[in-house]
C-alpha cells in the first residue's frame, strides 16, 4: 500500500502515531505543559491506618513561593471518588486507610518550594491497628474500613453455579485440587501519572492528563469537588501506557482543585516513580482454590473455584475484577456442574484495581494448572484433554450461560497441535545440557470483553468532511498505546476510500469528541469501531448521494469515493472532495453514530450485584499458549526459551497492531510468572522503584511467535473481537505447566523465582504433586 | 554557569545552574520534549541521550557535565526523522505507547555504532538497559536488526 492508496482493512498499516513518536514530537500530556506553570504535589499519609487528628498547614504556607496548601476542608463537593462506589477521599479528613492516601495538596512556583512545603505540612496522625490480610479483615469484630458499607469489610461476594453445582463432584472418576496465589502486580507504565490544568477567565477548568477515561473522570471530578460538569474540560492526549492503572482518577481531581486555587495560572503535577508505585492501583493479590473432576475419558464433569481478592482500601474497580475472575474460573470448557464463589475484601494494603486481564489472569493461572494435573492423573495428553472439553459456540459455560459469540478455541488448539514447537518438544527437551531441565507447558484462554449486561457499553463516533476535502475522525476512546486511534483512521479511510494522509484524528477531549466509554475491557476498537463504522458509512452515503444529485446520475451506485475525490463511474468524471465540501453545509458534512454493544440473554442465576458488575459477558476472545522453558538445576533459574501464542480475536483490522497487543501482553504475563512481585510488609510497599520491582527487560522476554486463527465475529466491526487483554492470562499457567513438565514441581505462588524453584527442587520427592 | 556544548550538531550556549539535571535542561530550558523522564533514577533508560556518541542517562547527569560535549537527542537523530532506525521502528511495529521510543532509538543508535551487524542476542543485550512495557521487545529487536541490515555496507550512515 503506497501513501496515496486508500487504507484497507486487514492490512498491516504502520500506525499513524509511529512516525511522530520516533521523532520525539510532543504528544504526551507532560510535553505540553505551558512554560511557567506552577507545580502541584501531594503530601502522602506514609502510615497505613490512622485517625487524622489535625493537618496543620501554616508552616508550609509560609514557605516562599507557595501559592496554596489545601486540605479536605478546601474540597467543596463530596470529597469522594471511585468508579462504582465513591469510597476514596480526594484528600483524607478522618481516616487514613493506606500509606498512599493524600493528606494535603501544595501548589508552588518552583519544585524546590513545593518539596520544602510538602515536608512542612504537619499531619497529626494517630495510628490505628491496620488490617493487613484478608483473613484478619474477615475475622469477627475486625474494625470496618468503611463503616457504612453493608457488606462490612467484604466489598463484594457472590456465587455462580451450573448444573447441579457441588453435587457434580460425584459423577467424576478423578478429581484434582490446587491452591494457588498470585501477587500484586504493578502496571509500571513508562509514563507516570501526570497532567496540567488551568482555570479560564470565564471560570472553567481545562485539564490535560494521562487518562483512560476522560468522560467518566469529568463526572467524578465534578461530583468530588462540587462543580457543575459543564465547567470542566478534560483532554486525553496519547498516553505513555495505561494497562488499567489510568482507568480512573489519579491526578485529575487534585489538579482541578489546584487550578481552582491558582488564579488562572496553569498548574502541573507529575508523580515520580515511587509516588506512582505507592499511590497507584495494582493487580489484586489473589488466592485461588480450584477443583476439577472428569470421567476416565477426560470429559470434564465438575469444577469448583473459590477466589479471594485482597482489595486494599478502595473499590476502584475491584467488584468488577472479582466478577470477571469468577466468570472465567471454570476455564474455557464445557463443564456441566460447577460452583464458583468469590470475595473481594477490604484491607489496609495498597489499592487493588484494574489491570489488563482483570481477574481472569489470576483464575486462569490456577485453572490451567489444574487441567494439567487432571490430564496427568488420567494419563491423557495435555492438549487432547483441552480439545475434548473446549467450548464451542452455543455451549453452556461452566458458570452457566450460553456462549453466543464466535468461538475459535478448537482452531487455536489445532494450530498448536501441528506447530513445530509442539510436535518437536520432546526432541527439544531431550537436548538439554548438563544440569538443565527442559519442559513444555500449555494454557488455554478465554477473555470476555466489555461491560456486561447492565452497564451500557456505548460508543459515539463523529466523522467530518473538512472544507479542504480531507476527513476528521473525532475519537472518543483514549489511546493508551494500543493504537486504537490509528485503527480508527484505518477504518474511516477504508470506508471512505481515503489514504492515511487524508484522515485527521482528534483525540478524546470532552469539548470536542463524544463520550464513548473507557479505554479498557478489550472493548475499545470493538465498540468504538462499530460506532465509527456507522458514522463513516452515513457520511459516505451522504457524499455519494450529493455527488449523484449534482451529476444527475441515474443512482448512487454510479458514484464512488476515491482518494481526494468522488468519481462518476460511467464517465470517469471526478469532483474533488474540497469542491463537494464547499457545496455542503456543515451539518451535512458531519455524521454521528451511536452504538451499544449487544448483551447476553441468560445468566439469570447470578445475583443482581454480580450481574451489575458484568456477569455474563457476550463476546469472548480465545487463545492457546505454549511456553518452552529451561531450568538450571544448580541455580533454580528458569528461562523461557520460546513462546507461542495463538489467538482467536475475530478478524484482524490491522495484523501488526493485533500482534503488538499479544506480544506486549505476553511480556507482562511473563513478568508476573518470572520476576514481578510487589512486596508489601505491614501494608507498606518495599519495592517502590524499578530497581527493586523487576519488569522484564529485552533479555528476559523470548522470541514470541504470534499466530491468529481466521474467525469472524458477526457483532464486531469487520468481524473483530477485542485483543487487548487475553494474552496476559497465558504466561503464568503455561510457564507453571512447563516447569512441572521439566522438573516435576509446582510452586504454590507466582512469580517462579530462582529461590523458590531451587527450594522446591531440593524438597522434591516429598510427594509434591506433579 | 555559562554552559557551552554542541546540541544536535549546532552550538548551544546558555546560563544554567551547574546542578540542573540534563533531562530538565533539555525539556524545560531548551524545549526538547523528545527526551522522556520515567523513573528519574537510572533504572529505565527512557531519558537516554548520546553524549559524544555514547548513550547516557540524562536523569543522572548534571548540566556541568555537558560542558564542551556533543549531545544528540531524538530530535537530532536525523534532520527529517528519516534515520534508518526511525524508519524501521515505525515500519516494524516497534512503537506502541512510544514513551520509551526516543531512549530506545538512541540506545540502538549507540549499539549499531559499536556493532554495525549485531545478531538478535547482541541486540537484546545492547538494549537491556531500556525498559519497554508495551511491546515485549520482539518488534524492537526486529526493527534494530532491519536497520542494521539496511546500513551494513554503508559506513557513512553508521557513523552518525
User: Which pLDDT value is given to residue A1?
Assistant: 64
Chain A residues closer than 8 Å to B89 by CB: 18, 22
Would residue A504 count as lying in a domain?
yes
Give the one of A24, A242, A667 whose C-beta lies nearest to B102's C-beta.
A24
Would residue A137 count as lying in a domain?
no
**Cβ–Cβ below 8 Å for A190 and B46:** yes
Would residue A3 count as lying in a domain?
no
Give the one of A24, A28, A31 whose C-beta lies nearest to B74's C-beta.
A24
Would residue A158 count as lying in a domain?
no
User: Which pLDDT value is given to residue B150?
Assistant: 81
> How much is the mean pLDDT over chain A?
97
What spatial distance separates the first Cα and last Cα of chain A, rounded to whole Å?
52
Would residue A156 count as lying in a domain?
no
Would residue A151 count as lying in a domain?
no
Task: Summarize pLDDT for A337-362 with one digit per residue, the tens.
Answer: 999 999 999 999 999 999 999 999 99
* Shortest Cα–Cα distance, A715 to chain B (Å): 27
Give the one of B33, B34, B99 whose C-beta lies nearest to A240's C-beta.
B99
Would residue A7 count as lying in a domain?
no
Instruction: Clarify whether residues A365 and A491 are in a common domain.
Output: no
Instruction: Clarify whether residues A476 and A432 are in a common domain.
Output: no
Domain boundaries of chain B, sorted by first residue: 2-76, 84-155
Say if residues A193 and A270 touch (Cβ distance below 8 Å). Answer: yes
User: Regarding the domain delimited by B2-76, which CATH topology (the fold level of the hierarchy) does it fall under?
Assistant: Ubiquitin-like (UB roll) (3.10.20)
Q: Is the pLDDT of residue A369 over 70?
A: yes
Chain B residues closer than 8 Å to A15 by CB: 90, 93, 95
Chain B residues closer than 8 Å to A490 by CB: none
CATH number, domain of A77, equals 3.90.1170.50
How many structural domains are present in chain A? Answer: 3
Would residue A155 count as lying in a domain?
no
B61 interface with A at CB cutoff 8 Å: no
For the residues A636-653, what does the mean pLDDT come to?
A: 98
CATH of B84-155, one of 3.50.50.60, 3.40.50.970, 1.10.150.120, 1.10.287.130: 1.10.150.120
Task: Summarize pLDDT for A668-697 with one digit per residue, the tens.
Answer: 999 999 999 999 999 999 999 999 999 999
For the residues B94-121, what does the mean pLDDT come to?
A: 97
Instruction: Clarify whether residues A296 and A427 are in a common domain.
Output: yes
Pure H helices in A87-213: 111-120, 134-138
Instruction: Clarify whether residues A214 and A92 are in a common domain.
Output: yes
Task: Summarize pLDDT for A158-206 with one digit per residue, the tens.
Answer: 999 999 999 999 999 999 999 999 999 999 999 999 999 999 999 999 9
Bridge-partner residues for A39, per DSSP?
A108, A268
The residue range of the domain holding A365 is 282-452+602-762
Instruction: Clarify whether residues A548 and A467 are in a common domain.
Output: yes
CATH number, domain of A528, equals 3.30.365.10
User: A596, A628, A643: which is the final residue of a domain?
Assistant: A596
A657 interface with B at CB cutoff 8 Å: yes
Instruction: Clarify whether residues A113 and A87 are in a common domain.
Output: yes
Instruction: Clarify whether residues A572 and A606 are in a common domain.
Output: no
Instruction: Clarify whether residues A580 and A636 are in a common domain.
Output: no
Report ipTM (2 d.p.).
Answer: 0.97
User: Which pLDDT value is given to residue A601?
Assistant: 84
* Shortest Cα–Cα distance, B141 to chain A (Å): 8
Chain A residues closer than 8 Å to B59 by CB: none
Chain A residues closer than 8 Å to B43 by CB: 273, 689-691
Q: Is the pLDDT of residue B157 over 60?
A: no
**Cβ–Cβ below 8 Å for B128 and A698:** yes
Peptide bond into A233 cis (omega under 30): no
B63 interface with A at CB cutoff 8 Å: no
Give the one of A18, A239, A273 whose C-beta lies nearest to B41's C-beta.
A273
* Shortest Cα–Cα distance, A20 to chain B (Å): 9
Instruction: Clarify whether residues A592 and A630 are in a common domain.
Output: no
Instruction: Clarify whether residues A708 and A669 are in a common domain.
Output: yes
Q: Is the pLDDT of residue B61 over 90?
A: yes
Say if residues A398 and A330 touch (Cβ distance below 8 Å). Answer: yes
Instruction: Clarify whether residues A441 and A479 are in a common domain.
Output: no
Instruction: Clarify whether residues A612 and A748 are in a common domain.
Output: yes
Three-state SS for chain B is: CEEEEEECCEEEEEECCCCCEHHHHHHHHCCCCCCCCCCCCCCCCCCEEEECCEEEECCCCEHHHHCCCEEECHHHCCCCCCCHHHHHHHHCCCCCCCCCHHHHHHHHHHHHHHCCCCCHHHHHHHCCCCCCCCCCCHHHHHHHHHHHHHHCCCHHHHCC
For chains A and B, CB pairs below 8 A equal 166
**Cβ–Cβ below 8 Å for A190 and B135:** no
Amino acid at each position: 500500500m503506497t501513501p496515496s492508496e486508500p487504507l484497507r482493512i486487514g492490512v498491516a498499516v504502520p500506525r499513524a502515531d509511529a512516525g511522530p513518536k520516533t521523532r520525539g514530537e510532543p504528544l504526551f500530556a507532560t510535553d505540553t505543559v505551558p512554560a511557567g506553570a506552577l507545580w502541584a504535589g501531594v503530601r502522602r499519609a506514609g502510615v497505613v491506618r490512622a485517625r487524622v487528628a489535625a493537618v496543620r498547614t501554616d508552616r508550609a504556607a509560609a514557605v516562599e513561593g507557595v501559592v496554596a496548601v489545601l486540605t479536605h476542608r478546601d474540597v467543596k463537593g463530596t470529597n469522594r471518588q471511585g468508579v462504582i462506589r465513591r469510597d476514596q477521599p480526594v484528600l483524607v479528613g478522618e481516616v487514613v486507610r493506606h500509606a498512599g492516601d493524600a493528606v494535603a495538596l501544595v501548589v508552588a512556583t518552583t519544585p524546590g518550594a513545593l518539596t520544602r512545603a510538602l515536608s512542612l505540612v504537619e499531619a497529626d496522625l494517630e495510628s490505628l491497628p491496620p488490617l493487613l490480610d484478608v483473613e484478619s479483615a474477615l475475622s469477627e469484630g475486625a474494625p470496618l474500613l468503611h463503616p457504612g458499607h453493608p457488606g462490612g469489610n467484604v466489598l463484594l461476594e457472590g456465587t455462580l453455579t451450573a448444573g447441579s453445582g457441588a453435587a457434580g463432584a460425584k459423577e467424576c472418576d478423578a478429581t484434582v485440587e490446587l491452591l494457588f496465589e498470585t501477587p500484586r502486580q504493578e502496571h509500571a507504565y513508562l509514563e507516570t501519572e501526570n497532567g496540567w490544568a488551568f482555570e479560564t477567565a470565564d471560570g472553567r477548568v481545562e485539564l490535560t492528563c494521562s487518562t483512560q477515561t476522560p468522560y467518566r473522570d469529568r463526572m467524578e471530578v465534578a461530583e468530588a469537588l462540587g462543580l457543575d460538569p459543564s465547567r470542566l474540560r478534560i483532554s486525553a492526549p496519547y498516553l505513555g501506557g495505561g494497562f488499567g492503572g489510568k482507568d480512573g482518577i489519579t491526578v485529575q481531581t487534585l489538579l482541578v482543585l489546584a487550578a481552582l486555587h491558582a488564579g488562572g495560572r496553569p498548574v502541573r503535577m507529575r508523580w515520580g516513580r515511587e509516588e506512582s508505585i505507592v499511590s497507584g492501583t495494582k493487580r489484586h493479590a489473589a488466592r485461588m482454590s480450584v477443583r476439577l473432576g472428569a470421567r476416565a475419558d477426560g470429559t470434564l464433569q465438575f469444577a469448583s473455584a473459590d477466589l479471594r481478592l485482597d482489595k486494599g482500601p478502595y473499590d476502584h474497580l475491584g467488584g468488577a475484577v472479582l466478577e470477571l475472575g469468577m466468570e472465567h474460573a471454570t476455564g474455557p470448557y464445557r463443564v456441566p456442574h460447577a460452583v464458583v464463589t468469590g470475595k473481594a475484601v477490604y484491607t489496609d494494603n495498597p489499592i487493588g484495581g484494574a489491570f489488563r486481564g482483570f481477574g481472569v489472569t489470576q483464575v486462569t493461572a490456577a485453572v490451567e494448572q489444574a487441567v494439567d494435573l487432571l490430564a496427568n492423573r488420567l494419563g491423557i495428553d495435555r492438549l487432547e484433554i483441552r480439545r475434548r472439553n473446549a467450548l464451542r459456540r452455543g455451549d453452556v459455560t461452566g458458570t452457566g450461560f450460553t456462549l453466543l459469540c464466535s468461538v475459535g478455541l478448537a482452531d487455536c488448539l489445532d494450530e498448536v497441535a501441528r506447530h513445530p514447537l509442539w510436535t518437536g518438544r520432546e526432541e527439544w527437551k531431550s537436548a538439554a545440557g548438563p544440569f538443565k531441565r527442559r519442559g513444555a507447558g500449555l494454557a488455554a484462554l478465554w477473555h470476555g470483553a466489555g461491560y456486561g449486561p447492565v452497564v451500557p457499553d456505548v460508543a459515539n463516533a463523529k466523522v467530518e468532511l473538512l472544507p479542504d476535502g480531507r476527513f476528521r475522525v473525532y475519537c472518543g476512546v483514549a489511546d493508551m498505546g494500543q493504537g486504537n486511534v490509528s485503527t480508527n483512521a484505518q477504518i474511516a479511510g477504508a470506508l471512505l476510500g481515503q489514504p492515511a494522509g487524508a484522515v485527521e484524528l482528534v483525540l478524546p477531549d470532552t469539548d470536542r469528541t463524544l463520550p464513548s466509554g473507557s479505554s479498557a475491557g478489550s472493548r475499545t476498537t470493538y465498540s468504538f469501531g462499530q460506532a465509527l463504522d456507522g458514522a463513516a458509512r452515513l457520511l459516505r452515503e451522504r457524499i455519494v448521494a450529493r455527488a449523484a444529485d449534482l451529476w444527475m446520475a441515474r443512482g448512487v451506485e454510479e458514484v464512488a469515493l476515491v482518494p481526494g475525490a468522488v468519481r462518476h463511474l460511467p464517465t470517469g468524471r471526478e469532483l474533488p472532495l474540497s469542491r463537494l465540501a464547499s457545496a455542503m453545509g456543515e451539518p451535512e458534512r458531519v455524521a454521528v453514530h451511536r452504538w451499544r454493544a449487544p448483551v447476553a440473554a441468560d445468566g439469570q442465576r447470578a445475583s443482581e450485584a454480580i450481574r451489575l458488575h458484568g456477569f455474563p459477558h457476550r463476546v469472548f476472545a480465545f487463545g492457546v499458549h505454549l511456553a518452552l522453558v529451561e531450568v538450571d538445576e544448580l541455580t533454580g533459574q528458569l528461562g523461557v526459551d520460546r513462546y507461542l501464542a495463538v489467538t482467536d480475536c475475530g478478524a484482524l483490522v490491522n495484523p501488526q497492531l493485533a500482534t503488538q497487543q499479544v506480544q506486549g501482553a505476553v511480556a507482562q504475563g511473563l513478568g508476573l510468572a518470572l520476576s514481578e512481585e510487589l512486596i508489601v510488609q505491614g501494608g507498606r510497599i518495599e519495592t517502590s522503584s524499578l530497581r527493586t520491582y523487576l519488569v522484564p527487560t529485552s533479555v528476559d522476554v523470548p522470541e514470541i511467535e504470534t499466530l491468529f486463527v481466521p474467525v469472524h465475529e458477526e457483532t464486531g466491526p469487520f468481524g473483530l473481537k477485542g485483543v487487548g487483554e487475553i494474552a496476559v492470562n497465558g504466561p503464568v499457567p503455561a510457564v507453571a505447566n512447563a516447569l512441572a513438565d521439566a522438573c516435576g514441581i509446582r510452586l504454590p505462588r507466582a512469580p517462579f523465582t530462582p529461590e523458590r524453584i531451587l527450594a522446591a527442587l531440593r524438597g522434591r520427592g516429598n510427594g509434591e504433586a506433579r | 554557569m555559562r554552559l557551552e556544548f554542541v546540541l544536535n550538531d549546532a552550538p548551544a550556549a546558555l546560563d544554567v545552574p551547574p546542578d540542573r539535571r540534563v533531562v530538565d535542561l533539555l525539556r524545560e530550558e531548551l524545549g526538547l520534549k523528545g527526551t522522556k523522564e520515567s523513573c528519574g533514577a537510572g533504572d529505565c533508560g527512557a531519558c537516554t541521550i548520546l553524549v559524544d556518541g555514547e548513550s547516557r542517562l540524562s536523569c543522572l547527569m548534571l548540566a556541568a557535565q555537558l560542558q564542551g560535549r556533543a549531545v544528540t537527542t531524538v530530535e537530532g537523530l536525523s534532520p527529517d526523522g528519516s534515520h534508518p532506525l526511525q524508519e524501521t521502528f515505525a515500519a516494524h511495529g516497534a512503537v506502541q505507547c512510544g514513551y520509551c521510543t526516543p531512549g530506545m532509538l538512541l540506545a540502538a543508535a549507540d549499539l549499531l555504532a559499536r556493532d554495525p551487524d549485531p545478531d538478535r542476542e547482541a541486540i537484546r543485550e545492547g538494549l537491556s538497559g531500556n525498559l519497554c512495557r508495551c511491546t515485549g521487545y520482539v518488534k524492537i529487536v526486529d526493527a534494530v536488526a532491519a536497520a542494521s541490515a539496511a546500513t551494513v555496507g554503508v559506513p557513512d550512515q553508521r557513523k552518525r
